[in-house]
């Protein structure tokens, strides 16, 4: 066995065949059942000519078939490609073409969209509709045996980014590197690095009971992909939902006795605590003892409200990226939830903050640099040598990846995330990070959600614009002056919003990240300036 993701899953299957592995919208798979169906699907794909190194797309919402496809492709040493189910035809055609797909597994509801781009994709030679009788027939016609050849830790895993500020990019990882970078192979607090592939499974076998983990983001989101894979290596159960509906989430926690839940910041956290506060809400959520958040701003006011409902909750806030894996995490103290922009976390793996001179930033200096990582990092971007050269570079013989997240290093060595430089605001020469301003805006009692961007300004180059959705309570209102007065107590004056747009809903990606292109279109309409 190697540090190969399919090898690690098969080892878990052999250790825990009768344990329940996956629950998705009430449909269940034990480890043995998932193994059998993934083997059948792998044999079907092999019969269509899919082999090592080939790229196979998975296009659908969370389902048992999504996970079956994930393991089937890796079993063949092929590479699966995550596809955003919200893409329109033009975006789909770009990604499928850029990724060089030879096969595509998709849900029936996206069939018309696939058909509309098929003629432009000569490399795509096989499609299979996952939620149909044809899919079940394809599996039934194949062997359930695990009779695949040896695999390698060098096998590829490609994670396509969301493309919130540009076209999606495929981040190319080796299996072994992504295993360590996403936290599966390095214990976060002791720093112990696993040296044998079976160490994680052996540790899980000795544990008293398996966890039941509930990642709420779509499987096209890297954190949920890792949850489905990483939790399996420890013999745990994973529960998925196809769509995020707060009341359904709490009912699922009650029914499945969920022990740990993963969200993407306020986009999920706010409606979840609002559902708990709703009149008549009566959920038995006593099983839940752990909550983690990543990939989006998780503001103090929302954290505080979770602690009201779960006083003993273990809350973890993390930072990371498709290119850097898990860069750092912190256990949130309920008496100290304040934050400056993003969270302040303990760095993981080879994570550092580099200054403009590409040297590590001195702790406590106040210098703003960028988060970088060495060691277990990707190979680059697929089909994009120019962007690869910009983000992956060598300093004194050490190879780093630095995707663009700005941060500073506190005196205690912790990293405070400030935001992605590609969407930072330059106002009169001052750099303003949207996440910091969003955190200030969302602490206002009338604000439900907010996105902050820069808009053109004749004098300053750019000014800060806030796109805000208000709470639905009767009598709630907000003026630009109200928001400015509130924010001045939280952030420096030059960061305070100068423009306010009220919307019914702040549009985000399915993973909870801001949709900056949508925000820019809103900000060009008539707003309230000050």
Structural domain ending residue among the three candidates 143, 170, 187: 187
Q: Mind giving me the DSSP string for 309-354? A: H-TT-EEEEEEEETTTEEEEEEEPBTTB---BSB-EEEE-TEEEEE
Q: Which of 187, 220, 235 is the last residue of a domain?
A: 187
* Residue 170 domain-assigned (yes or no): yes
Residue 264 lies in a domain: no
pLDDT, position 106: 97
Query: How confident is residue 238, by pLDDT bands cut at 50, 70 and 90?
Result: very high
Give the residue from 441, 421, 419 showing the smallest Cα distance to 341. 419
Among 133, 165, 187, the domain boundary falls at: 187
| Position 344 in a domain | no
Cβ atoms 275, 250 nearer than 8 A = yes
Residue 98 belongs to some domain of the structure: yes
pLDDT, tens digit (0-9, with 9 covering 90-100), for 331-344: 998 888 877 667 88
Average of pLDDT values for 1-30? 93
Least confident of 37-46, 64-73, 393-402, 425-434: 425-434
Residue 141 belongs to a domain: yes
CATH of residue 459's domain is 3.30.300.30
Residue 266 binned pLDDT confidence (cut-offs 50, 70, 90): confident
CA distance 116 to 120: 9
**In-domain check, residue 271:** no
pLDDT exceeds cutoff 60 at 484: yes
Structural domain contains residue 501: yes
Average pLDDT, whole number, for the chain?
90
CATH code of the domain covering residue 82: 3.40.50.12780
By residue count, the chain amounts to 530
What local confidence, expressed as pLDDT, does residue 14 receive?
94
pLDDT tens digit sequence for 108-142: 999 999 999 998 888 999 999 999 999 999 999 99
pTM of the model: 0.84
Please count the structural domains in the chain: 2
**For the segment 155-204, what is each residue's pLDDT rounded down to a tens digit?**
999 999 865 445 789 999 999 999 988 866 676 666 677 778 777 777 77
Say whether pLDDT at 316 is over 90.
yes
pLDDT digits (tens, 9 = 90+) for 380-422: 999 999 999 999 999 999 999 998 888 999 999 999 988 766 6
Residue 295, pLDDT > 80, answer no
Q: Is 493 exposed, middle or buried (0-12, 13-18, 19+ CB in 10 A)?
A: exposed
Residue 28 pLDDT level (bands cut at 50, 70, 90): very high
**pLDDT at residue 530 is higher than 60:** no
Residue range 307-322: average pLDDT?
93
pLDDT for 421 equals 63
The answer to whether the CB of 501 falls within 8 A of the CB of 522 is yes
> How many angstroms separate the CA atoms of 520 and 453, rounded?
7
Torsion of CA 428, 429, 433, 434, to 10 degrees: 30
Q: 482: part of which helix (H) or strand (E)?
A: helix 480-488
Its domain, for residue 520, covers 424-529
Say how many C-beta atoms besides its own lie within 10 A of residue 2's C-beta.
Answer: 16
In a domain, 386, yes or no: no
| Helix boundaries (H) for 59-218 | 64-75, 89-98, 111-117, 133-140, 175-181, 199-205
Confidence grade of residue 321 (pLDDT, cut at 50, 70, 90): confident
Comparing 530 with 453, the larger pLDDT belongs to 453
């Amino acid at each position: 066995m190697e540090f190969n993701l399919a090898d690690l899953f098969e080892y878990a299957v052999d250790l825990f065949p009768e344990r329940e592995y996956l629950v998705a919208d009430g449909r269940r798979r034990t480890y043995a059942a998932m193994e059998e169906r993934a083997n059948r699907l792998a044999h079907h794909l092999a019969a269509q000519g899919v082999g090592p190194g080939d790229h196979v797309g998975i296009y659908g919402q969370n389902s048992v078939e999504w996970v079956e496809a994930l393991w089937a492709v890796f079993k063949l040493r092929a590479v699966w490609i995550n596809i955003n189910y919200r893409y329109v035809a033009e975006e789909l055609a770009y990604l499928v073409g850029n990724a060089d797909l030879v096969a595509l597994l998709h849900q029936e509801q996206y069939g018309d969209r696939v058909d509309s781009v098929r003629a432009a994709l000569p490399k795509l030679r096989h499609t299979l509709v996952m939620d149909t009788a044809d899919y079940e027939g394809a599996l039934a016609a194949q062997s359930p045996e695990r009779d695949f050849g040896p695999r390698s830790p060098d096998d590829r895993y490609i994670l396509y980014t969301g493309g919130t500020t540009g076209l999606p990019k495929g981040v190319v990882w080796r299996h072994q590197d992504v295993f360590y970078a996403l936290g599966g192979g390095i214990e976060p607090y002791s720093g112990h690095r696993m040296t044998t592939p079976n160490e994680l499974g052996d540790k899980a076998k000795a544990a008293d009971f398996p966890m039941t983990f509930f990642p709420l983001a779509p499987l096209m989101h890297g954190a949920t992909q890792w949850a489905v894979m990483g939790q399996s290596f420890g013999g745990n159960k994973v529960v998925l939902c196809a769509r995020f509906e707060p009341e359904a989430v709490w009912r699922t926690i009650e029914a499945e006795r969920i022990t740990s839940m993963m969200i993407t910041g306020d986009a999920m956290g706010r409606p979840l605590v609002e559902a708990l506060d709703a009149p008549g809400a009566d959920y038995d959520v006593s099983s839940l003892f752990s909550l983690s958040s990543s990939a989006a701003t998780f503001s103090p006011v929302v954290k505080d409200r979770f602690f009201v409902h779960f006083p003993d909750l273990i809350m973890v806030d993390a930072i990371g990226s498709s290119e850097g894996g898990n860069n750092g995490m912190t256990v949130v103290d309920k008496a100290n939830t304040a934050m400056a922009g993003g969270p302040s976390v303990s760095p993981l793996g080879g994570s550092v903050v580099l200054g403009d001179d590409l040297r590590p930033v001195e702790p406590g200096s106040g210098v703003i640099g960028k988060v970088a990582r060495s060691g277990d990092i990707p190979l680059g971007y697929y089909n994009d040598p120019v962007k690869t050269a910009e983000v992956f570079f060598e300093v004194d013989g050490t190879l780093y990846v630095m995707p663009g997240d700005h941060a500073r290093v506190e005196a205690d060595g912790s990293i405070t995330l400030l935001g992605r430089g590609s969407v930072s605001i330059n106002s009169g020469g001052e750099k303003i990070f949207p996440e910091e301003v969003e955190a200030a805006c969302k602490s206002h009692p009338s604000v439900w959600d907010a996105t902050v961007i820069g808009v053109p300004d004749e004098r300053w180059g750019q000014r800060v614009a806030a796109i805000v959705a208000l709470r639905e309570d009767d009598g709630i209102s907000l003026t630009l002056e109200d928001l400015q007065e509130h924010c001045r107590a939280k952030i420096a004056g030059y960061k305070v919003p100068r423009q306010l747009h009220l919307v019914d809903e702040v549009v985000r990606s399915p993973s909870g990240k801001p949709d900056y292109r949508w925000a820019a279109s809103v900000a060009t309409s008539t707003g309230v300036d000050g």
